[in-house]
Amino acid sequence: PSTLIWVFMNIDTINELNIAKFLMDSTTATAELGWTIHPSQGVSRKKSWEEVSGYDENMNTIRTYQVCNVFDSSQNNWVRTKYIRRRGAQRIHVQMKFSVRDCSSIPNVPGSCKETFNLYYYESDSDMATKVSPLWMENPWVKVDTIAADESFSQVDLGGRIMKINSEVRSFGPVSRNGFYLAFQDYGACMSLIAVRVFYRKCPRVVLNGAVFPETLSGAESTSLVAARGVCVPNGEEVDVPIKLYCNGDGEWMVPIGRCMCKAGYEPVDNGTVCRACVSGFSKAAQGDHKCQQCPINSRTISEGATNCVCRSGYYRTDSDPPQMPCTTVPSAPQNVISIVNETSLKLEWSSPQEGGGREDIVYNIICKSCGSGRGGCTRCGDNVQFVPHQLGLTDTHVHISDLLRGIHMHLTCLLNTFNSFSKTT
């Protein structure tokens, strides 16, 4: 079954799972990167940028670009990546790992030495770049940012440079053409471009607030919000408003609106990730995020996913009984009936039934009948006969009957029933 999350999963936890889709990763290259360099030689006949094999922080062999023409002024060295297809992305992220030499650690270095470089991009519908086009300058290239190192290195040991690797991420957008190029401009630094990873972000497929949200491309800006419509998980139902979640430009879900809850007969399980049918002997009467409840005494369910429990044979509920109330049955007859008789009155006393049927609303009814000595039938006593405290609806276990006619043989019947009248036992 599909999975879901209720409000019970923190949206910050979900955003830790955001998806980075890589468009280019220089660290995976098994051969030369073959990026385009401009100019092909520096002003002192040295190459501006040079592709060399190097090592990352884990000592894995990688292809890098380095430049170090700090003793020559007026540097303007560019290196351009190959064409990168955007694959529907609107906002592009670039992670750069690089090292920069501390200018102050280089003896006799001129004041033109830099510790920064520039990042640019250029959009195109096809791979159309040449060695001279697009022109190596800002406009047509779009500048993303000037990148500075948090740490620079200054020491040299017998094995070579001791480098401090910096990692910076920049993003740009919206992009709308089929693809783009990246370019890195050096204007007087001694540096190594160790790794370049180009990616875009997606908000991951999640189940939140009882609804499934599809994997969604991030917006064009970091402040952009792309609406994603949620669909309730199986056996879930919308509550209040349509279910929406918004994906921002950094691939993070935010601004949840609305929710779904498990419908009647189903409960959230596995941390609220599934709406599961109530098992046999359990029911859930209404939509909600509460659990199925065990059937009350003397009741059962007919099938899984039950919304109510029905009474077992011989047991009942009144119309006013709530569904969570146990089912009850008829009480047994009253016990230990004692009668004290004189010529015109009768006093009856009795004990409560041994079995009350599970209810406390037991009352007693007294029916008085006069029966002659012949074969004729019995008739109800006349209206002059008095019952104290009552004839019907007695809650006490005694009654005094008076004003009986002398010489009449009386057959007195004690009728016991519950207040709802579904049980009658003589």
d(CA 196, CA 130) in angstroms, rounded, equals 21
Nearest C-alpha neighbor of 299 from the set 283, 320, 286, 287: 283
Looking at residue 426, its pLDDT comes to 38
Listed ranges 202-206, 321-325, 349-353; the one with the highest mean pLDDT: 202-206
**8 confidence band (pLDDT: 50, 70, 90):** very low
pLDDT given for residue 425 in this prediction: 43
Q: Which string of DSSP letters, residue by residue, matches 207-254?
A: EETTEEE--EEPPSSTT-EEEEE-EEPTTEEEEEEEEEEEEETTS-EE
Assigned CATH class of 1-9+206-327: mainly beta
Give the residue, 75 or 332, on which the prediction is more confident: 75
Give me the residue label for tokens 């991420």: 169
Residue range 297-301: average pLDDT?
94
Fold of 19-201: Jelly Rolls (2.60.120)
Q: What is the pLDDT of residue 42?
A: 52
Does residue 1 register a pLDDT over 60?
A: no
Query: What distance in Å separates the CA atoms of residue 157 and residue 26, rounded to the nearest whole number?
Result: 27
User: Does residue 82 register a pLDDT over 70?
Assistant: yes
Q: Are 425 and 332 in contact (CB under 8 A)?
A: yes
Asked if residues 350 and 335 have their Cβ atoms less than 8 Å apart, the reply is yes
Bridge pairing between strands 231-232 and 211-213: antiparallel
If you write DSSP's letter for every residue of 84-152 in order, what string do you get? EE-TT-SSEEEEEEEEEB-GGGSTT--TT-BSEEEEEEEEESS----SS-S-SSBTTBEEEEEEE-S--
- Tracing tokens 């008076």 back to the chain, one arrives at 402
Tens digits of per-residue pLDDT, 232-247?
Answer: 999 999 987 889 999 9
Lowest mean pLDDT among 23-27, 201-205, 392-396: 392-396
d(CA 404, CA 398): 17
Structure tokens at 376: 């004729």
| Residue of 80, 56, 25 lying closest to 197 (CA atoms) | 25
The neighbour count for residue 223, using CB atoms within 10 Å, is: 9
Please give the pLDDT value at position 282. Answer: 97
Q: Which CATH superfamily is domain 335-425 in?
A: Immunoglobulins (2.60.40.10)
Instruction: Quote the mean pLDDT of the chain.
Output: 84
Per-residue pLDDT at 87 exceeds 90: yes
3-state secondary structure of 391: coil
Tokens (6 digits) for 226 = 């792309």
Nearest alpha-carbon partner for 184 in 94, 96, 80, 83: 80
Is the pLDDT confidence value at 30 over 50? yes
Confidence of residue 21 (pLDDT cuts 50, 70, 90): very high
pTM over 0.85: no
With a pLDDT cut of 90, the percent of the chain lying above it is 49
* Secondary structure E strands in 355-420: 362-370, 379-380, 386-388, 398-402, 410-418
Residue 285 has pLDDT above 70, yes or no: yes
Q: Which two tokens stand for residue 134?
A: 């697009």
Is 7's pLDDT higher than 50? no
2 has a pLDDT exceeding 70: no
**pLDDT digits 0-9 by tens, 34-48:** 999 999 865 555 668
The residue length of the chain stands at 426
Segments making up each domain of the chain, as ranges: 1-9+206-327, 19-201, 335-425
d(CA 60, CA 327): 74
